[in-house]
Structure formats: C-alpha cells, structure tokens
C-alpha cells in the first residue's frame, strides 16, 4: 500500500488534475492541444535527446534487456493482430491498428516517472535504453504492417520509402536520432545550450502528464468491449509476464529486470490512439483502451511492483 501511495498515486494525480481541469472547463480543448503539441513535439523530444546524448552506450547496451522487453512486445502485437482478425472478425487494417495498441506501452509518460519514483534516478538507464528504441521499433513495426496490408501486393521497393517518410516525420524519433549523433560524435554541448536543454526537458513529464489527463477526458469508453478488454489484458498482464519470463531465462540483472517488466506493465499510450487516427482505423477501440487500461494500471502496476525484487 505504501508503494501505491508514494510511487504511483503522484503520477496519476497529475493526470487526474489535467482530467479535472478539462472536465470543469478550466482548460479548453485548444489549450490541451497546444500543451500536448508542446510536450510531444518539443519538450519530450528534448528530454529524449538529453537522455540519449548523455547515455553510456558501451555500458548500458544490454541485449538481454532489450530482448526481454521487445520479445514480449512483438508477441503482443502478433496476439492483438491475429485476435482482432480471427477472433473478433475485424478487417486487416483495423487488426493492425489493434495490434499496435497491444504493442505500444506508455514507456515514457508513465513508465519513466513511475520507475523514477520507485527506484530513483540512478536506476533509469535501462528505461532510457528501452525508450531509445521504442518509437523507432514500434512505429517501424506498425507502419510497415499497415503499409503492407494497404499495399496489397506492392513491391518492397515501393513500401520502404513510405515507411521511412512516416517514421522520420515523428519528432520523438528525431530527438532520439540527434541524441545518438551527439553521443557518438563526442561533441560537448556549450554551457548555455546544456542549461536551456535542461530547462525544456524539466518541463516535459509534468506538461505531458497534465495534458494526457485532458486528452483522456475526450475519450468515452465505446466500441467493442470484448476487443477493449482483450487489449487491456495483453498490455497489463501478458506483456509484463512475457518480459518477466524472458528476463529470468536470460539471467538479466535486477535493475534490468525492473526496467523491462515495469515498462512492459504500462498501459497502451496515447501513441496507440495517434497511430489509429493516422490511418483512420480502430480509433474507438484504441481511445477506449487507452482510457480504461490507464485507469486499471493503477492497480496492476502496484501488483507488478510487489512482484519485482
């Protein structure tokens, strides 16, 4: 219970503050859109840029960590895709969107602050390594799968440029890429630049969490509740369970185990809805899953924290 109060509730209280502000009309939809645009297009990419630029890649590149998390992620994508198609009778485009909802954990807006509250800043290296690959990997899988089912027979040479253009229009991926450039080049940022980066990065998580609450207010649980329940179970139970099993099998150290399992235990993030909206497929299911899974994760994340060493 102490973990629930001190680690999880502060994060969800910020989300709830944003939700209440939108509900009471104190923060308009235009305000929310502007705040989320600032967070997702500027502050969060700067946060990721700073994290990757300062990351000791030689020390922190842990294939067992990445394999534990992303092995579970890809299996969950396949589970969502096939269940949507063959169990719930959705068409292939909807099935890819639903698979993406099962694939994309909220590793940044929830996973990072909860891990920080639980284990401290020193334990976040594994989280940043997962986040560094997260958007490129998930969008790469989702966009490639969607373009393939939409192409219906086009050659890989025609599909590849579409995939690359879609990925590199994403501000998160650009922030990560620039962070790798600075890291690998060994160029030190001038003091004024470093301070300004720190200022913007410090605003990223509070702004994004508050804005996320306002965005969630717009979503009403509707659509096929069987599909929504399936997506919630995959995100909150199946993915962390697979990550836990793979981490144990690979002998992952405690810090890596915590990063992999706790990140996998996060609900589907806003990007699950944004991907669905990008293609205009499965939007109601994605939106409802984000809202319901985020609410349910208050309990499930607490339980996973109790399981972890």
192 lies in some domain: yes
Q: 7 falls in which pLDDT band (50, 70, 90)?
A: low
CB burial string 37-50: b at 16+ within 10 A, e below: ebbbebbbbbbbbb
Instruction: Return the pLDDT at 240.
Output: 96
Mean pLDDT, rounded, for 160-165: 72
184 lies in some domain: yes
Measured in whole angstroms, how far is the alpha carbon of residue 37 from the centre of its chain? 16
CA nearest neighbour of 97 among 141, 161, 158, 37: 141
Structure tokens at 186: 């060994």
88 lies in some domain: yes
245 lies in some domain: yes
The range of the structural domain enclosing residue 278 comes to 56-197+216-307
42 lies in some domain: no
Instruction: Return the pLDDT at 153.
Output: 64
21 lies in some domain: no
24 lies in some domain: no
Other C-beta atoms lying within 10 Å of the C-beta of residue 200: 17
23 lies in some domain: no
List the Cα angle 46/283/97 in 5-degree steps: 75
Counted domains in the chain: 1
pLDDT-above-90 percentage for the chain: 30
pTM: 0.78
């Amino acid at each position: 219970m102490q973990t629930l109060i001190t680690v999880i509730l502060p994060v969800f209280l910020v989300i709830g503050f944003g939700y209440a502000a939108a509900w009471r009309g104190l923060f308009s939809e235009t305000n929310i859109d502007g705040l989320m645009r600032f967070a997702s297009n500027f502050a969060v990419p700067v946060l990721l840029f700073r994290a990757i630029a300062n990351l000791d890649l030689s020390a922190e590149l842990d294939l067992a960590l990445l394999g534990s998390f992303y092995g579970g992620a890809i299996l969950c994508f396949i589970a969502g895709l096939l269940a949507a198609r063959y169990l719930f009778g959705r068409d292939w485009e909807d099935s890819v969107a639903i698979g993406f909802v099962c694939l994309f954990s909220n590793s940044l807006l929830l996973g990072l602050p909860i891990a920080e509250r639980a284990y401290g800043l020193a334990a976040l290296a594994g989280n940043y390594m997962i986040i560094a690959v997260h958007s490129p990997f998930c969008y790469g899988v989702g966009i490639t799968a969607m373009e393939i089912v939409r192409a219906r027979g086009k050659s890989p040479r025609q599909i590849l440029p579409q995939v690359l253009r879609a990925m590199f229009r994403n501000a998160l991926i650009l922030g990560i890429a620039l962070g790798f450039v600075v890291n690998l080049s060994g160029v030190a940022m001038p003091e004024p630049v470093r301070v300004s980066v720190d200022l913007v990065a410090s605003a990223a998580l509070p702004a994004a969490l508050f804005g996320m609450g306002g965005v969630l207010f717009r979503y009403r649980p509707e659509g096929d509740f069987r599909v929504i329940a399936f997506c919630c179970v995959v995100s909150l139970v199946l993915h962390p369970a697979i990550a836990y099993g793979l981490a144990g099998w690979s002998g992952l150290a405690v810090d890596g185990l915590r990063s992999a399992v706790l990140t996998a235990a996060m609900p589907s993030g806003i990007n699950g809805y944004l991907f669905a909206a990008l293609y205009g497929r499965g939007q109601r299911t994605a939106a409802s899953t984000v809202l319901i899974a985020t609410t349910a994760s208050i309990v499930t994340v607490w339980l996973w924290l109790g399981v972890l060493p």
